[in-house]
Amino acid sequence: MAAPPSKGIIRIEVLDTGIGLPMDQARKIFEEFHQLANPARDSSLGLGLGLSIVKRIGDLLGHSIDVRSIPGYGSAFAVEVQIGDAGEVDETQPIRAAQENSAPVAGTFLIIDDDPIVRNMVKMLLDQEGHRTMVAGDVATALDIAGTNAAELDLVIADYNLSCGASGLDAIASLRQQLGRDIPAIVLTGDIATITLRAVADQGHIQLNKPVKSQQLISLIQHLLVKAGKNAPDTAVDVPSSADPSAIQRVFVVDDDAVVLEAMRDLLQEHGYGVKIYANGEEFLRAERSDGCLLIDARLPGMTGLELIERLRAENCTLPTVMITGDGDIALAVEAMKAGASDFIQKPVGHVELLASIARAFELDGGRPSAARELALSLVAGLTARQRQIMDLVMAGHPSKNIAADLGISQRTVDNHRAAIMRKTGSKSLPALIRIAIAAA
């Protein structure tokens, strides 16, 4: 339904009479893979990508997206489109990476934006590209994060206008002073005033105007990383040479999604692995098995991923196994590792993370689990009794809010303990922490 033009804008609305949704969920439904009524991640109910694609395209084109909804009655989605001249074109050309055909380079970034929706969207985009990202809503938080990750930071991405009168330029200047080096920085802004452009240029930063094209940002980041001398991580390409067929490591992929199977097969073969794919656990069990690594989706029809792992262990099969779980399936991941899985990764899966996890599984299978256990025991021994208690609750899948209520402490205190746990164990992610805790158990 198109509304009449008003002030150079056409408003297009799509109405439905579905179940509706609470307005506090209105923004979350634009996140990738977010679904309100599909906790089991049943692919027959969709993937949760439709609205995120609409939002991303809207951002790229500069069109605002709006939603209104009443639970039990339905929802109204609206797109506002600017009416431009027929000859008007966008002359902005994307910046290409210095080595466009080479393997992507992964980096560690700090994203500073006082708008949680924007900073989480940028984080999601870059996480999917295989980067490690940290986010801050203000200068003070950014400095705290940088203080514990100083050596790892490769790049700062900051919004020009921050809250409380601060600017992205202030944040970058403070970070450079604290780090003692001129860390590369990208400034995002919708302000095209001459004074703003000059201020950004005078400090040697790169400016991108909003709305930012995702591919333009990704290409620019690759260019900056290559320019700084960053190389693709060894874990992403450390595979046996195909010159000796007997040395090729094999990966068995089990997933009921044919598209996922094909994509993983192409990626793994491109990096030198021999790959066999299976649509379900029963098909894998019927097949002739050899040495290799099993990559399995947790949510399978019929025999689940966890049941397949338990079946293999009952048969004394020591095949190293990596389980892919949905975001938030912490308790399931812990159960899988207790049952014998070597590792787990969470959806959406980045290719760098996937390759690193497979390499780690082969490494542990090569006779180094005892060393990993000794290291894990020493790291966990450095935790206080309260921190070990909170770590156990986190591994059981409890969010900080529930942990705080159960222990009779504030959520801020729980978050502080969680930060200390990550720091003391050297964990850069929740999956990494769980690997350490399981190894030490």
CATH of domain 369-440: 1.10.10.10
**223-231: which pairs have CB atoms within 8 A and are 24 or more residues apart?**
223/95, 223/96, 223/97, 223/98, 224/155, 224/184, 224/186, 225/105, 225/107, 225/154, 225/155, 226/97, 226/98, 226/99, 226/105, 227/98, 228/154, 228/184, 230/105, 230/106, 230/107, 230/154, 231/105
Question: Which residues are within 8 A (CB) of 132 and not within 5 positions of it... i.e. 6 or more apart?
Answer: 106, 107, 108, 109, 152, 428
DSSP 223-238: HHHHHTT----HHHH-
What element of type H or E holds 156? strand 155-159
Specify the residue for token string 């990494």: 432
CATH of domain 235-365: 3.40.50.2300
| Assigned superfamily of 9-82 | Histidine kinase-like ATPase, C-terminal domain (3.30.565.10)
Positions of CATH 3.30.565.10 in the chain? 9-82
3-class SS of residue 74: strand
Alpha carbon distance 401, 130 (integer Å): 29
- What is the residue-level pLDDT of the chain in tens, covering all 441 positions? 555 555 667 878 888 777 777 777 666 777 766 666 555 555 555 666 677 777 777 777 777 788 887 777 778 888 887 765 544 434 344 434 334 445 567 888 999 998 888 888 888 888 878 888 899 988 888 888 887 777 778 899 999 888 777 888 989 999 988 888 889 999 988 776 777 777 888 888 888 887 788 888 888 898 888 887 766 544 334 444 444 555 688 999 999 888 888 888 888 988 889 999 999 999 999 988 788 999 999 888 889 999 999 998 888 888 889 988 875 577 787 888 888 888 888 776 777 778 888 888 887 765 555 666 788 888 889 999 999 999 989 888 888 889 999 999 998 898 889 888 988 888 877 777 888 888 887
What element of type H or E holds 132? strand 132-136
Task: Read off the pTM.
Answer: 0.46
Positions of CATH 1.10.10.10 in the chain? 369-440
Using the Cα atoms of residue 56, residue 59, residue 63 and residue 68 in order, give the sign of their dihedral. Answer: positive
Positions of CATH 3.40.50.2300 in the chain? 108-227, 235-365
| Assigned superfamily of 108-227 | Response regulator (3.40.50.2300)
Q: Can you say how many angstroms the Cα of residue 68 is from the centroid of all Cα atoms in its chain? A: 28
